[in-house]
Chain A
Amino acid sequence: GEDVEQSLFLSVREGDSSVINCTYTDSSSTYLYWYKQEPGAGLQLLTYIFSNMDMKQDQRLTVLLNKKDKHLSLRIADTQTGDSAIYFCAESTNDYKLSFGAGTTVTVRA
Chain B
Amino acid sequence: GAVVSQHPSRVICKSGTSVKIECRSLDFQATTMFWYRQFPKKSLMLMATSNEGSKATYEQGVEKDKFLINHASLTLSTLTVTSAHPEDSSFYICSARTLDRNAEAFFGQGTRLTVV
- Which residues on A are within 8 Å of B, measured CB to CB? 1, 4, 30-31, 33, 35, 40-45, 48, 50, 88, 92, 96-103
Contacts and interface: CB of A to CB of B under 8 A. Distances in A.
B105 interface: yes
Interface stretch (B14-22, B66-74, B75-83, B106-114): B106-114
B116 interface: no
Instruction: Please provide the 4 A-B residue pairs with the shortest distance between their CB atoms, ordered closest to farther.
Output: A43-B107, A42-B109, A42-B107, A100-B43
Given A43-B93, A103-B43, A98 B34 contact: yes
B103 A48 contact: yes
Interface residues of B, number: 24
A4 B102 CA distance: 21
B32 A96 contact: yes
A40 B34 CA distance: 19
Interface of B: 4, 6, 32, 34, 41-46, 49, 93, 95, 97, 102-110, 112
12 contacts: A1-B43, A30-B103, A43-B107, A44-B107, A88-B44, A92-B103, A98-B34, A98-B44, A99-B46, A100-B43, A100-B44, A102-B42
Given A88-B44, A103-B43, A98 B110 contact: no
Contacts of B112: 40
A50 B110 contact: no
B97 A45 contact: no
Given A42-B6, A97-B46, A98-B46, A31 B103 contact: yes
